Structure 1
Amino acid sequence: MEKTARPWAALWALVIGFFMILVDTTIVSVANPAIIEGLDTTIESVLWVTSAYLLAYAVPLLITGRLGDRFGPKNLYLIGLTVFTIASAACGLSGDISLLITARVFQGFGASMMTPQTMAVITRIFPPDKRGAAMGLWGATAGVASLVGPILGGVLVDALGWEWIFFINLPVGVIAFVAALRYVPALTTHSHRFDLIGVALSAVGMFLLVFGIQEGQSYDWGQIWGPISVWSLIIAGLVVLTGFVVWQHFNRGEPLVPLKLFRDRNFSLGNTVITTVGFAITSMALPLIFYLQMVRGLTPTESALMMVPMAVISGVLAPFVGRLIDHINPRLVATAGMACCAVALAWYAAVLTPDQPIWILLLPSAVMGLANSAMWGPLATMTTRNLAPALAGAGSGVYNTTRQVGAVLGSASISMLMQARLAAELPGGGSGPDAAGLSGVLPEFLHIGFSAAMGQSLLLPAAVALVGGIATLFFAKPKPLSAEWTSTEEAQPES
């Protein structure tokens, strides 16, 4: 490991910015109606405010993780944070939808530079037998941020206007920059020959795949333009990514993603499981929010507050879980967390009825809080425990990429399933509300069918979480520390 005098101060400095960028993946969802009104735009255009961010965030993650190995994770983090903060100001000042979408692209790119560096620094400054508590804090941040976004967004939009969901990032970004500059050590860089062919193949393949999955629903899974269809983009993306993997295998220089990473069973399994977590956590929100607003008549802020038990329980328990997994096999905790996730989602599916007492819905929310506290940190610990320092950035890039691809798959899949169940459950086989959920509270005669459709839709993320839980059973027992991790190599002095 690389020693630093204040590893926890470094971690907290990174967590501030990490929390901010993850909140921005979900904060816009409750602001869409206000943005439509404020910028006099359409539903189709405003959906790109989120899509552009997610694309720019997901596509470069493999590359930015490797860049952190080459030029130093601190440097990449600070550059990304600067880009993200400036882009946030541009978002809030945007006078039309095109400028807002463009600014969101830069926001996403800044986020993609920051995210892999957080895990890479943890991997390099905390030894494996002390990393559980650190990953517990990282996991609590990831879990809570995904839930805080809609809550914070609803409050800011209702109180100050949609622009403030972006302006709030400016003071946070400045504080995060100063903290990272002061407390994050300048770690040893590793000389890498950059794999330009790998960069091109991964970027093109990821863009085609993520764009196809993410925007498929917008084009009704049909033609996009001329002979180009959604499915042709997805297939082309898979073909290009297959070519990328083949190139990584035969590249005699230094591949962008060293395939030897996947020789470690826990790394391979961890990426599989985090894909299911990204899928389940992302896809659960849409049916719940639609039900709460369109059947129960809650406001955006009120519906987001129904997620508070998840955020509070996750935030409180995650640090304790982190310390626990330094002393027991993290697999046990990860399995319990995935099981709680599947149970909570199945519970939600069972209780989404028009006349359900509203407090009952807080119970599965609390169980989901238990799940969040037990999933993120242990999974990250198991996945990265055996990574060599020189591969920390590459491994972190892969891990965050698979999480983000899981989220995109979850978003697209739940949209398709909701439409199918609405067509089956509503009178006359109606297609239900539009994609942005702007139809207000539904007439009472539609409540039973709509609630049933939303509950049935939640069985999909429940099943995916169960698959992830089964996969955790195959994690190998953590290996003893290697000599590479017990060395006393010092971090480079601050520049």
Structure 2
Amino acid sequence: MSQPQTSAPVPQPAADTAQRRLIQVLFVGVFMAALDSAIVGPVLPALREAFGIDNRTAGLLTTVFSLSSLCSTALMAYFSDRHGRRPVYLISVALFAIGSVCIAAAPDFDMLLVGRAIQGIGAGGIAPVASAVIGDVFTAERRGRILGLIGATHGMAFVLGPPLATLLTSTLGWRWLFLVNIPVALLVLWWGARSLPNQRNSSAPGHIDLAGIVCTLLFLLCLVLGISRLADSATGLLLWPGFLAASGALLGALVVIEKRQAHPLIPIDLLANRQLACAYVLTLGVGFSMGGIVFLTSIATLAYGVSVESAGLALLPLVLCSMVGSMAAGRLLNRLGARSLVIFGFTLLTLGYLQSAVPQTGLTAFLIASVLIGIGVGVVVSGALRSIAMDEAPPTQRGTAQGLITILNAVGTLLAVTCISAMADFEGGELTGFSHAYLALALSMLLMLWVAFGLKKKSAEPA
């Protein structure tokens, strides 16, 4: 009689509580990093005034953050596969907090850049490691909903970020925008040390792929610098071909190096999986779709007479629909399957950006297009592609597989912003240039839709 009592399912409520606590600590960490990205734009005027810098110099804050986060993502994902998710996630949050302190206490713009770089290194590890934890801990039935919740943090950040930035900057000063990260980070560190699993890969090799690490960092460095210089009319014509050529050569060298490694930083054999290869191409397209949002406010001001001060409000339907689309897609992921959701998302993005390329249709049509784009972005970032990476990658390489998702997403965003701005500036920065640029973006979304049909139907999907 005693044996059935000891095997009774008494610990189940405690297990549910532990999983809820784990979801919360991952959500808060990802939201903290996403919110910081959303407040940088509104605070730029205050930074220009405080440090006496021009717009081009202020743009270095975004470039440095993108570069450092891209470079750290592969490393953090790699180390999380080798040494466990908990220490890498906590180190990433700690670095983000240290960067925030450096920015808040910065006496000059150089220290501001240093703090932004440290923040980027920390942010590069938060999202991919959080996704890998979800893949390790939760069943396939629950992953979709949780990934949708995590994906919705970016929409929430862009809703709350601008008004929060305006409020704190006008009352306490811009430095408090970064000081508020400190108590949040401390909470995540304390919470995460108690909640995150500390499983280690017992089969991890003793040596580190130093050649792969160095080659990856140099490749990403040249790629980001090449993309950023492409948009710089003053020096870009001379510098960007060299940087992009160097990144191409380094990419070829990286493939050769990683094929020879027994335990590579970036396992090339992951790309031999057709499902994973399609997912990574589509992730690049997701980055393109997110980069296209940046210049929609320019269309609103040029085509419909929306004031510069109110241009951000024109994107409010897009941001709200992105949040709703992400959470809804997360709930429907297990029922409809990743393939169906990705196809639906890129269909909406194609229609929305195609409508944006025809501004003569009026403001109402523009708002309808922004709703389609918002839902589409919410669906494709909801976790469908990350769930494919979780299902297809070996458990010992989940962190790396999630890291590649983050890297390709960021690269796609940089490419989209650069290409749209270059096409618009080529035609004088007027409405015609943006119209042509968004037509090209709509065609790229149509290409991604075609790639999405290449995803296989999983057995869990309904017929």
Query: 1:49: how far off?
Result: 1.2
Which residue of structure 2 aligns with residue 389 of structure 1? 395
Which residue of structure 1 aligns with residue 423 of structure 2? 417
Query: 1:213: how far off?
Result: 0.8
Query: 1:90: how far off?
Result: 1.9
Residue 355 of structure 2 aligns to which amino acid in structure 1?
Answer: W
Whole-angstrom CA distance in 2 between matches of 1:165 and 1:147: 16
Query: 1:144: how far off?
Result: 4.4
Work out whether residues 322 and 378 of structure 2, in 8 Å CA contact, stay in contact via their aligned partners in 1.
yes
State how 1:73-92 maps to structure 2 within 5 Å: 73-92=85-104
Whole-angstrom CA distance in 2 between matches of 1:43 and 1:315: 31
Residue 255 of structure 1 aligns to which amino acid in structure 2?
Answer: P
1:263 to 272, 278, 284: 272
Query: 1:54: how far off?
Result: 0.8
Paired residue secondary structure (1:385): helix
Whole-angstrom CA distance in 2 between matches of 1:44 and 1:144: 28
Whole-angstrom CA distance in 1 between matches of 2:302 and 2:59: 19
Whole-angstrom CA distance in 2 between matches of 1:164 and 1:216: 34
Which residue of structure 2 aligns with residue 13 of structure 1? 25
Query: 1:360: how far off?
Result: 5.2
Query: 1:286: how far off?
Result: 2.4
Which residue of structure 2 aligns with residue 209 of structure 1? 223
Query: 1:119: how far off?
Result: 1.3
Higher relative contact order (CA 8 A, sep 6+): 1
State how 1:342-421 maps to structure 2 within 5 Å: 342-351=350-359, 356-357=362-363, 361-376=366-381, 377-421=383-427
1:455 aligns with 2:463: no
Work out whether residues 389 and 398 of structure 2, in 8 Å CA contact, stay in contact via their aligned partners in 1.
no
Query: 1:59: how far off?
Result: 1.8
Which residue of structure 2 aligns with residue 98 of structure 1? 110
Q: How high is the sequence identity, in percent, across the aligned residues?
A: 24
Whole-angstrom CA distance in 1 between matches of 2:367 and 2:115: 36
Q: Given the two structures, how large is their TM-score scaled by the length of structure 2?
A: 0.88
Moved more, 379-388 or 208-217: 379-388
Query: 1:261: how far off?
Result: 1.5
Query: 1:65: how far off?
Result: 0.7
Q: Evaluate the alpha carbon distance shift between residue 370 and residue 254 of structure 1 in structure 2; reply closer, same or farther with a 3 A threshold.
A: same
Paired residue secondary structure (1:257): coil
Which residue of structure 1 aligns with residue 329 of structure 2? 321
Deviations 1:1-28 (A, max 9, x none): xx97533431221121112212333432
2:36 to 24, 41, 54: 24
Query: 1:120: how far off?
Result: 0.9
State how 1:185-196 maps to structure 2 within 5 Å: 185-190=197-202, 191-192=204-205, 193-196=207-210
Q: Evaluate the alpha carbon distance shift between residue 76 and residue 293 of structure 1 in structure 2; reply closer, same or farther with a 3 A threshold.
A: farther
Which residue of structure 2 aligns with residue 487 of structure 1? none
Moved more, 334-343 or 91-100: 91-100
Work out whether residues 282 and 452 of structure 2, in 8 Å CA contact, stay in contact via their aligned partners in 1.
yes
Whole-angstrom CA distance in 2 between matches of 1:201 and 1:212: 16
Whole-angstrom CA distance in 2 between matches of 1:459 and 1:472: 20
Moved more, 187-196 or 12-21: 187-196
Work out whether residues 149 and 326 of structure 2, in 8 Å CA contact, stay in contact via their aligned partners in 1.
yes
Work out whether residues 68 and 393 of structure 1, in 8 Å CA contact, stay in contact via their aligned partners in 2.
yes
2:305 to 296, 314, 329: 296
1:473 to 447, 453, 462: 453
Which residue of structure 1 aligns with residue 245 of structure 2? 235
Which consecutive residues of structure 1, in runs of 5 or more, have no partner in the other structure? 424-431, 433-449, 482-495
Residue 224 of structure 2 aligns to which amino acid in structure 1?
Answer: V
Query: 1:207: how far off?
Result: 0.7
Moved more, 87-96 or 334-343: 87-96
Paired residue secondary structure (2:197): coil
Greater share of helix: 2
Q: Evaluate the alpha carbon distance shift between residue 168 and residue 462 of structure 1 in structure 2; reply closer, same or farther with a 3 A threshold.
A: farther
Q: Evaluate the alpha carbon distance shift between residue 61 and residue 183 of structure 1 in structure 2; reply closer, same or farther with a 3 A threshold.
A: same
Deviations 1:60-84 (A, max 9, x none): 2212110111121111111111111
Paired residue secondary structure (1:474): coil
Query: 1:45: how far off?
Result: 1.5
Query: 1:405: how far off?
Result: 1.0
Q: Evaluate the alpha carbon distance shift between residue 146 and residue 211 of structure 1 in structure 2; reply closer, same or farther with a 3 A threshold.
A: farther
Work out whether residues 385 and 478 of structure 1, in 8 Å CA contact, stay in contact via their aligned partners in 2.
no
Which residue of structure 2 aligns with residue 245 of structure 1? 255
Whole-angstrom CA distance in 2 between matches of 1:218 and 1:122: 40
Moved more, 47-56 or 121-130: 121-130
Work out whether residues 293 and 299 of structure 1, in 8 Å CA contact, stay in contact via their aligned partners in 2.
no
Q: Evaluate the alpha carbon distance shift between residue 187 and residue 304 of structure 1 in structure 2; reply closer, same or farther with a 3 A threshold.
A: farther
Which consecutive residues of structure 2, in runs of 5 or more, have no partner in the other structure? 1-13
Residue 31 of structure 1 aligns to which amino acid in structure 2?
Answer: V
Paired residue secondary structure (1:189): coil
Task: Report the aligned-residue RMSD.
Answer: 2.6
Work out whether residues 314 and 370 of structure 1, in 8 Å CA contact, stay in contact via their aligned partners in 2.
yes
Deviations 1:229-278 (A, max 9, x none): 22111111111111011111122x31111222223222111111111111
Query: 1:475: how far off?
Result: 0.4
Whole-angstrom CA distance in 2 between matches of 1:348 and 1:174: 43
Whole-angstrom CA distance in 2 between matches of 1:82 and 1:205: 26
Whole-angstrom CA distance in 1 between matches of 2:69 and 2:252: 21
Moved more, 461-470 or 45-54: 461-470
Which residue of structure 2 aligns with residue 285 of structure 1? 294
